[in-house]
Amino acid sequence: MESDPNQQPHIGLEHQLPESTPTRTPRQKKIRAAVWILLLLIFAAGFLLVLRHHEDAATATAARKGAAGGAVAITTVTAQKGSIGVYVDAIGTVTPVYTSSISSQVDGIVTAVHYTEGQMVQKGAPLIEIDARPYAATLAQAQGILERDKGILAQAQMDLARYQAAWARNAIPKQTLDDQEKLVAQDQGTVHNDEGTVQYDQIQVQYCHIVSPIAGRVGLRLVDPGNVVQANAGTVLAVVMQIEPITAVFSVAEDDLGKIVPQLRKRAKLEVDAYDRGGTKQIATGSLLTLDNQIDTTTGTVKARAQFANKDSALFPNQFVNTRLLVNTLQNATLIPMAAVQHNGQAAFVYVIAQNKAHLTAITVGVSNATTAQVTGIQPGVVLATSSFDKLQDGTAVSISAKPIAANTSGSSAP
């Protein structure tokens, strides 16, 4: 059967036009799957956050219920009445009362060094010997001239006595007597000049025997026997420092003068403690000597000097120290340990324990040191909490533990 050329070809169902929804490409399918996965992840994260929030809220509620219902174990301390010092802290330097840098006053050769390095010497102890023979020879010569001129003076005085007797008998003219009197005066002047020369030469000989001008400790040896020294050359032969007693110079702020000056005017003996570089170990205790006569305008401080007996040589010249100047002592003050003081911003408070409950009480901290504080707002004798502050609130039931508890724990005893 022949086909009709005008007849349209038959199209099967498999060759019909596509539906209204277009077919997605593989890339579009991947993007669509990624979007769904991202949405699922976001949903899961949100769900976990909400769940976590509910758990935290439940935990906090349980903690509050526990704090309200169960007693929190704490350690306590009782506020005391006592005295506490008002201190001014400063940094200073140990300074010897006297420091003697000894140099030679004559030219010569060093013949002996009598001291050993670091030796404690007394005033007048021999230190260095310089060859004194040239000066001793000059001294002997001056002494001989003095003896000769003394003899001439004695002869002139003897003649003057004779002339005076002769003049009394009118045996000689007045001019002869007057001439002899002037001659005696000239000889007296010569003798005085000779005596000065002898004294100068004696001093030169003494300069050859160098002794310590003060009692103290000698430093390292600076010259040896055989060295040639010169007068006024600036060469230091030995250094002696007085270390018993010794002083410390420190600077205090000008704002603290109002505390210190009134005490000095009353001639009060103000105690000064010297601590090591770390400020933890007390080295010595002394007293304030005086303040400087002016304020350093560049630093706003004034220098002060304190003296220490230093019998044990604990303080060393030029040593750095931390000083604590006691300017006043508060009597009958309420004292509590610093461990009991808590802070909320600028406000200070404590937990007063009464009837097995903690009561938050505001206080004002005055003078304090590393361990103790003087406060107002509570009375001596009240019991204060010193631990488990993270569990305490106003009105929290507490129980006193016989074992030490860390200051900021959940109430469990420290091992």
Tell me the per-residue pLDDT of 353-406, one tens digit each, with 9 for 90 and over. Answer: 998 889 999 999 988 887 899 999 999 999 999 988 888 888 889 888 877 776
Q: Tens of pLDDT along 80-89?
A: 999 888 889 9
Token pair for 312: 């044990």
pLDDT band for position 188 (cuts 50, 70, 90): very high
**pLDDT confidence tier of residue 20, bands split at 50, 70 and 90:** very low
Structure tokens that stand for 232 in this block: 């006024």
pLDDT above 90 for 275:
yes
pLDDT grade, residue 268 (50/70/90)? confident
Complete domains list, the chain, with CATH: 68-84+331-400 (2.40.420.20), 132-207 (1.10.287)
Q: Does residue 414 have a pLDDT over 80?
A: no
- Number of C-alpha atoms within 13 angstroms, CB side, residue 411? 15
pTM of the model: 0.64
Q: Which amino acid is at 163?
A: Y
Round to whole Å and give the CA distance between 350 and 365: 11
Compute the average pLDDT of residues 262-289: 91
Percent of the chain with pLDDT over 70: 88
Task: Give the amino acid at 375.
Answer: V
Residue 289: pLDDT over 50: yes
Q: Are 108 and 229 in contact (CB under 8 A)?
A: yes
pLDDT at site 38? 79
pLDDT of residue 400: 85
- What integer is the mean pLDDT of 318-340? 91
pLDDT at 36 over 50: yes
Query: Which amino acid is it at 305?
Result: R
